[in-house]
Amino acid sequence: MFEEDTSPQPVHDPSSASRTAVIWLAVALVAIAVAGFFWVRQQNQAFRQQIAGLNAQTQKQSDELSGLQQKLHISSSELERLASVANETRQNVSQAQQQLASTQRQAATLAQQQQQTAQQISAVQQDTGSKLGAINGALTGVKGNVETNTTDIAKTKADLEATQANLKRTIGDLGVQSGLIATTRDELDALKRQGARAYFEFTLNKHDKQPTRVGAISLKLKNVDTKHARYTLDVYADDARIEKKDKNLNEPVQFLVGSKRALNELVVYQMDKNTVTGYVSAPKFADAAAAPAVKNPTR
């Protein structure tokens, strides 16, 4: 397929081969230099890009650092405020702890008092139970006493009604119709309960040297005759002396007192050899009740 080259072969010159090698070496060096130039240029461009990125990152970090510095300045003021708040909070906590300790002591004291109170209540309950039993027994006795007293009251009422029925009227020593006359202490009590007149009780002794004040008047006993149930006395009223001689037991002895001449009555219902006991009854108005005392009782 190929034709054989029969042309004469060139003769190789050693000097020519050296030049060729030098040329190729120079070409290779140039190629390396060009390649190195472009590689260095490419590396420089990458470095510039990296430096630009680093500059941008540095600027960003600087901006962030500036912001952090501003925040740090604000946080310092805030930190001072927080420190003040924390100090106040610690003081409040300390006070709260002291109050808590005081409250705990009070609670312990209260618990002890409650325990003592419970014990006292228990003792009182036991004592109350015993006393209630005694009271129930006493109430039973009181009930019986009330029933007895009711019976006694009924009897007393009947006796009072009988006593009031025994009260009588008569003509006094002045010839005036007397009021109801009491001849015993019980009858006198019945008259007092009616309240129609004022009653003044007395006991006179014939050995008394001075008159005895009885209501608005004064009385002086002079003589007692127990054999005939009579007595004699002096009445001192309105600066005058009135002798009531030989008056009978239970007789209404009458005399007038005061500017309105109010009728007073004297009744003696008990006597012995030296004394008489009785009462003076007077109207219930001021003139008679306030009759002046005797100025000269010996008159």
Do the Cβ atoms of 233 and 245 come closer than 8 Å?
no
Backbone angles phi, psi at 206, to 5 degrees: -70, -15
On the question of pLDDT at 149 being above 80, the answer is no
Do the Cβ atoms of 269 and 249 come closer than 8 Å?
yes
On the question of pLDDT at 101 being above 70, the answer is yes
pLDDT of residue 23: 87
Residue 78 corresponds to which tokens in the numbers above? 């805030």
On the question of pLDDT at 159 being above 80, the answer is no
pLDDT of residue 20: 86
CA distance 208 to 219: 10
On the question of pLDDT at 242 being above 60, the answer is yes
On the question of pLDDT at 8 being above 90, the answer is no
On the question of pLDDT at 165 being above 60, the answer is no
Complete domains list, the chain, with CATH: 17-166 (no CATH), 185-289 (2.60.98)
- Largest separation between any pair of C-alpha atoms in the chain: 224
On the question of pLDDT at 237 being above 90, the answer is yes
pLDDT of residue 200: 96
On the question of pLDDT at 247 being above 50, the answer is yes
Burial of 105 (0-12, 13-18, 19+ CB in 10 A): exposed
Helix, strand, or coil here: 284? coil
Amino acid at 86: A
Q: Per DSSP, what are the bridge partners of residue 263?
A: 256
Q: Compute the average pLDDT of residues 156-172.
A: 54
CA distance 281 to 138: 45
Q: Compute the average pLDDT of residues 220-232.
A: 97
Residue 83 corresponds to which tokens in the numbers above? 């420190």
pLDDT of residue 51: 83
Q: Compute the average pLDDT of residues 194-204.
A: 94
Query: Which contacts of 156-162 are long-range, i.e. CB under 8 A and separated by 24 or more positions?
Result: 159/186, 160/190, 160/193
* pLDDT-derived band at 175, boundaries 50, 70, 90: low
* pLDDT-derived band at 299, boundaries 50, 70, 90: very low
CA distance 272 to 276: 6
* pLDDT-derived band at 169, boundaries 50, 70, 90: low
On the question of pLDDT at 266 being above 80, the answer is yes
Share of the chain above pLDDT 90, in %: 30
Sequence-distant (≥ 6) Cβ neighbours of residue 238 within 8 angstroms: 257, 258, 291, 292
pTM: 0.42
Q: Which secondary structure element, helix H or strand E, spans residue 275, and what is its range?
A: strand 275-282
Amino acid at 214: V
* pLDDT-derived band at 241, boundaries 50, 70, 90: very high
On the question of pLDDT at 129 being above 80, the answer is no
